[in-house]
């Protein structure tokens, strides 16, 4: 079982009860939205989604981990997604359920651990991430970690009644190594 230790958090496999807790704890920030969210999923539908993710993990397509405080409380999730073994690349995605756990550095710490795992353990050569123009928190994390803004898909997404840009960031293994994994 994977367990990646940071200073204030660790990343580990999400058990079914952790997944359920994340679904129950989800707080949506209407003042500062970060992404679209699906409301109103039944317990059966959330269980089905968990099983779909587990299947992608078994197939080697995803590394999907919970973000835990050092006391064991699950506060979010992070994934290396759509792993392409031929091109040695994947995307990075993460989220936190409660607003109190956002914008306090947990995302930077979790992403750093995931990047280290992806580059050093999985042998990836490129990891990319995307976010919407209004998600300045995610943009700050990407910039702090040394990602490069590679492009903007202008007005690519319809969100809350208007079209918004989607930003694409990328990091190469040699850039990660040049930053000494920091």
Q: Which residue has the higher pLDDT, 179 or 112?
A: 112
Q: Which domain holds residue 74?
A: 3-178
CB of 146 closer than 8 Å to CB of 180: no
Per-residue pLDDT reduced to its tens digit, 66-110? 999 999 999 999 999 999 999 999 999 999 989 899 889 999 999
Please give the pLDDT value at position 127. Answer: 98
List the CATH number of the domain containing 83: 3.40.630.30
User: Can you name the residues that pair with 162 across neighbouring β-strands?
Assistant: 159
Specify the number of domains making up the chain: 1
Per-residue pLDDT reduced to its tens digit, 18-75? 888 888 888 777 776 666 665 566 677 777 777 877 777 777 788 999 999 999 999 9
d(CA 122, CA 83): 10
Mean pLDDT of 8-26: 88
CB of 63 closer than 8 Å to CB of 122: yes
In 3-state terms, what secondary structure has residue 43?
Answer: helix
CB of 53 closer than 8 Å to CB of 64: yes
Q: What is the pTM of this model?
A: 0.89
d(CA 131, CA 167): 5
d(CA 178, CA 176): 5
Q: Which tokens sit at 61?
A: 């397509």
Q: DSSP of 74-87, one letter per residue?
A: EEEEEEEEEEETTT
Q: Which tokens sit at 24?
A: 């129950």
Please give the pLDDT value at position 93. Answer: 94
d(CA 125, CA 81): 14
Per-residue pLDDT reduced to its tens digit, 118-151? 999 999 999 999 999 989 989 999 999 999 999 9
Please give the pLDDT value at position 121. Answer: 95
Q: Which tokens sit at 52?
A: 């779909």
Tokens 């919407």 belong to 132
Per-residue pLDDT reduced to its tens digit, 108-124? 999 999 999 999 999 99
Q: Which tokens sit at 40?
A: 């109103």
99 secondary structure, DSSP code:
G
């Amino acid at each position: 079982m994977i367990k990646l230790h940071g200073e204030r958090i660790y990343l580990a496999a999400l058990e079914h009860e952790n997944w359920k807790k994340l679904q129950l704890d989800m707080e949506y920030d209407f003042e500062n939205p970060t992404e679209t969210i699906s409301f109103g999923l039944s317990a059966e539908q959330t269980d089905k989604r968990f099983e779909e993710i587990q299947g992608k993990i078994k197939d080697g397509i995803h590394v999907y981990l919970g973000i835990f405080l050092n006391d064991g409380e699950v506060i979010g999730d992070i994934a290396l997604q759509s792993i392409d073994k031929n091109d040695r690349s994947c995307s990075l995605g993460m989220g936190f359920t409660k607003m109190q756990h956002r914008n306090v550095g947990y995302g930077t710490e979790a992403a750093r651990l995931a990047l280290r795992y992806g580059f050093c353990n999985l042998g990836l050569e490129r990891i990319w991430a995307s976010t919407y123009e209004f998600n300045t928190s995610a943009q700050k994390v990407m910039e702090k970690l040394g990602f490069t803004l590679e492009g903007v898909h202008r007005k690519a997404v319809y969100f809350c009644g208007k079209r918004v840009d989607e930003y694409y960031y990328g990091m190469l293994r040699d850039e990660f190594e040049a930053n000494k994994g920091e």
